[in-house]
Amino acid sequence: MADPATITAVAKAAAAALSDERTRKTIGWTIAAILSPLILIIVLVCSLLSGTTNHNNTAVELCFHGGVIPGSMPADYREYIGDMRRSFTLIDGAIATVNSQMEDGNSLDDYRVKAIFYSLFFGAESPSRLEHRKYVDCFVTYEERTRTVENDDGTTSEETYTVAVPITSLPAIYNNIRTLLGRAITYEDQANANEIYYRALYGIGAPAEDDDFTMWEGWTPDQLDGFFSDLPVGEVGAEAVRLGLSRLGDPYSQELRGQGSYTDCSYLVRWVYKKLGVNLPGTAAAQGKYCVDNGLTIPKSSLAPGDLVFWSHKPNGRFMNITHVGIYAGDGKVVDASSSRGQVVYRDLFDSGNQVLYGRPYAEAQKSSADGFISPLGSGWRSMVTSEFGGRTDPLTGEWAGHTGLDLGASKGTAIRSAKAGTVKTVVYGNTGYGYYLTIDHGNGMVTLYGHCSQILVREGQTVKAGETVAKVGSTGRSTGNHLHFEVRVNGAQKNPRNYLP
């Protein structure tokens, strides 16, 4: 590792690049935004080496809670804090405007909104110049609703209005921010934001991952529905259980994991699956995100030996607030490295109210057709078909009529995934026959449409991968029940989706 003087010199040079007007004009705001998190990390390292770590915690405290900036603080830090305070004032105004459009007692978590902003832009050049309303909009979706109003003449009429709805999924929020900024947001950026969130809100670092929940006893995490796939069960799962059981009694330690026989919950899972040729990330939250991103999640009713069970025992701000993971062993049992028991144990599947996700990391990704299509509702789509493409008896009028897509029945909230990689072309919330719907442009004249959604999780212009969750099943628009109306269009002409799905 470079000596402190060298690192400090690099940090000063980088900071100077961002503070020099001519350099800023040369590299531009986008590059500055890309560099600033790196500079922040360098500054943090320098602080640790020079014994000035308190400047970092003090900066968070001053930005979020105000107060007099100490004269002993470096001049550049004082400038960064001033810029961030100005940004927070603008963000607070944007949050107040968005909150005024919410119903049902909903509101944005202003600490979360500002912690993410701080993690991305502390130390950047003039973050207060950003379009803060657009940034805050990354945390909400907008729905068109109707209500009955009384007219001056005593009659009533229906009125359409717009409601802001908070997005509960952090991955969806970060996808929106990626689209806004036009750059990648790494898992390290997100971890930094979570740490800042806890420093600002609780005055402590983000909780470590374990199965001890007494600190937050009685807290129930929000359940994220729809992350379900129909995945095959294989012999690999049984082998994963055997490997996990081979570690019974091994001591628990986050600090010493990987040394000798020491392990913690996520290291045990990673060790087991590495033996089976599956490389998983190093934390429970990252392992859960890996399963979601790769379509490797299942409903609890489908649990089989070798599957992963994820718990959320503490509201830590990480992906789905996940803090613990174990390997399902069958018959209602789990093998996991338990912090509360201090070792790897085999026990009953516990704390059902805190289980938030189930994954099958050894399963292969959903198969695609020759045209590269996957099913938007999973491999069991054929059993979901309620109405075919072509002529049919209209369910609302009872008359014979054309049908431009394929109807797939599913419960409200079921995840709708992009059938192919592409760019979101349109997102429509309105009183249309399709209800809430979106279209995705896959290039070469091919477009897919997803209708009657209860919620849309992407924005126009956003790039999506095949299998990425883009919306949730609903019954908006001209519909008699919860289902997905799925269309395939080639050069504007509707085609039978059965000819494209695997």
pLDDT tens readout for residues 331-347: 999 999 999 899 999 99
Query: Mean pLDDT over residues 181-195, rounded?
Result: 77
Q: With 70 as the cut, is the pLDDT of residue 294 above it?
A: yes
CB 108 within 8 A of CB 139: yes
State the greatest distance between any 2 C-alpha atoms of the chain, in Å, as a whole number.
Answer: 82
User: What is residue 439's predicted lDDT score, i.e. its pLDDT?
Assistant: 97
Q: Which domain holds residue 313?
A: 214-359
The residue that leads in pLDDT, 410 or 249, is 249
User: What is residue 497's predicted lDDT score, i.e. its pLDDT?
Assistant: 94
Q: Which of 139-153, 309-323, 330-344 has the lowest mean pLDDT?
A: 309-323
Q: With 50 as the cut, is the pLDDT of residue 220 above it?
A: no
Residue 375: inside a domain: no
Produce one character per residue of 435-445: b if its CB has 16 or more CB atoms within 10 Å, e if not. Answer: bbbbbbebeee
Query: Mean pLDDT over residues 298-319, rounded?
Result: 86
User: What is residue 365's predicted lDDT score, i.e. its pLDDT?
Assistant: 55
Query: Mean pLDDT over residues 59-70, rounded?
Result: 92
How far apart (Å, rounded) are the C-alpha atoms in residues 133 and 58? 27
User: What is residue 37's predicted lDDT score, i.e. its pLDDT?
Assistant: 42
pLDDT tens digit sequence for 23-49: 433 344 344 444 444 444 444 434 333
Instruction: Answer yes or no: do 397 and 252 share one domain.
Output: no
User: What is residue 216's predicted lDDT score, i.e. its pLDDT?
Assistant: 45
Residue 395: inside a domain: yes
CATH code where residue 408 lies: 2.70.70.10
Band of pLDDT at residue 232, cut at 50, 70 and 90:
confident
Residue 474 DSSP code: B
Q: Is 234 exposed, middle or buried (0-12, 13-18, 19+ CB in 10 A)?
A: middle
The residue that leads in pLDDT, 318 or 60, is 60
Q: Which of 205-209, 246-250, 457-461 has the lowest mean pLDDT?
A: 205-209
Mean per-residue pLDDT of the chain = 81
User: What is residue 228's predicted lDDT score, i.e. its pLDDT?
Assistant: 61
Instruction: Answer yes or no: do 233 and 198 share one domain.
Output: no
User: What is residue 460's predicted lDDT score, i.e. its pLDDT?
Assistant: 93
User: What is residue 169's predicted lDDT score, i.e. its pLDDT?
Assistant: 77
- Domain limit, last residue, from 327, 359, 391: 359
How far apart (Å, rounded) are the C-alpha atoms in residues 300 and 285? 18
Instruction: Answer yes or no: do 123 and 164 share one domain.
Output: yes
Q: How far is CA 247 from the centre of its chain?
A: 32
Q: Which residues 6+ apart lie within 8 Å of 264 measured at CB?
A: 209, 210, 252, 253, 254, 257, 337, 339
Tokens standing for residue 339: 């912090």
The residue that leads in pLDDT, 147 or 292, is 147
Count of beta carbons in the 10 Å neighbourhood of residue 419: 29
Q: Is 101 exposed, middle or buried (0-12, 13-18, 19+ CB in 10 A)?
A: middle
- Domain limit, last residue, from 202, 229, 259: 202
Q: With 50 as the cut, is the pLDDT of residue 2 above it?
A: no
Tokens standing for residue 87: 């940004």
CATH code where residue 300 lies: 3.90.1720.10
Residue 220: inside a domain: yes
Task: Report how many domains make up the chain.
Answer: 3
Q: Which of 45-49, 114-118, 251-255, 384-388 has the lowest mean pLDDT?
A: 45-49
Instruction: Answer yes or no: do 351 and 218 share one domain.
Output: yes
How far apart (Å, rounded) are the C-alpha atoms in residues 326 and 260? 21
Instruction: Answer yes or no: do 406 and 353 share one domain.
Output: no
Inter-CA distances, 475 with 226, 380, 448, 453, Å: 15, 20, 19, 6
Query: Mean pLDDT over residues 340-363, rounded?
Result: 92
Instruction: Answer yes or no: do 320 and 435 share one domain.
Output: no
How far apart (Å, rounded) are the C-alpha atoms in residues 305 and 38? 42
Q: Parallel, antiparallel, or unpaired for β 493-495 and 483-490?
A: antiparallel
pLDDT tens digit sequence for 373-401: 988 987 678 888 888 888 756 655 566 66
Which helix (H) or strand (E) covers residue 446, if one does? strand 446-453
CB 315 within 8 A of CB 321: yes
Instruction: Answer yes or no: do 346 and 388 share one domain.
Output: no
The tally of CA atoms less than 13 A away on the side-chain side of residue 151 is 7
Q: With 50 as the cut, is the pLDDT of residue 243 above it?
A: yes
Residue 24: inside a domain: yes
Q: What percent of the chain has pLDDT over 70?
A: 81
Residue 365: inside a domain: no
Instruction: Answer yes or no: do 271 and 328 share one domain.
Output: yes
Query: Mean pLDDT over residues 397-419, rounded?
Result: 81
Q: With 50 as the cut, is the pLDDT of residue 303 above it?
A: yes
Residue 140: inside a domain: yes
The residue that leads in pLDDT, 292 or 379, is 292
Residue 427: inside a domain: yes
In 239-362, where do the E strands start and end? 308-311, 324-330, 333-338, 343-348, 355-359
Q: Which of 389, 379, 216 is nearest to 312 (CA)?
A: 216
Residue 207: inside a domain: no
- Domain limit, last residue, from 202, 225, 257: 202
The residue that leads in pLDDT, 353 or 261, is 261
Q: Which of 338-342, 431-435, 486-490 has the lowest mean pLDDT?
A: 431-435
User: What is residue 387's predicted lDDT score, i.e. its pLDDT?
Assistant: 87
Instruction: Answer yes or no: do 11 and 36 share one domain.
Output: yes
User: What is residue 218's predicted lDDT score, i.e. its pLDDT?
Assistant: 43
The tally of CA atoms less than 13 A away on the side-chain side of residue 217 is 2
User: What is residue 18's predicted lDDT score, i.e. its pLDDT?
Assistant: 38
Instruction: Answer yes or no: do 252 and 353 share one domain.
Output: yes
User: What is residue 213's predicted lDDT score, i.e. its pLDDT?
Assistant: 52
The residue that leads in pLDDT, 214 or 500, is 500
Instruction: Answer yes or no: do 8 and 43 share one domain.
Output: yes
pTM beyond cutoff 0.85: no
Q: Which of 41-55, 113-127, 319-333 has the lowest mean pLDDT?
A: 41-55
pLDDT tens digit sequence for 74-107: 888 889 999 999 999 999 999 999 999 999 899 9
Band of pLDDT at residue 366, cut at 50, 70 and 90:
low
Instruction: Answer yes or no: do 345 and 466 share one domain.
Output: no
Q: With 50 as the cut, is the pLDDT of residue 8 above it?
A: no
pLDDT tens digit sequence for 454-478: 999 899 999 998 888 899 889 998 8
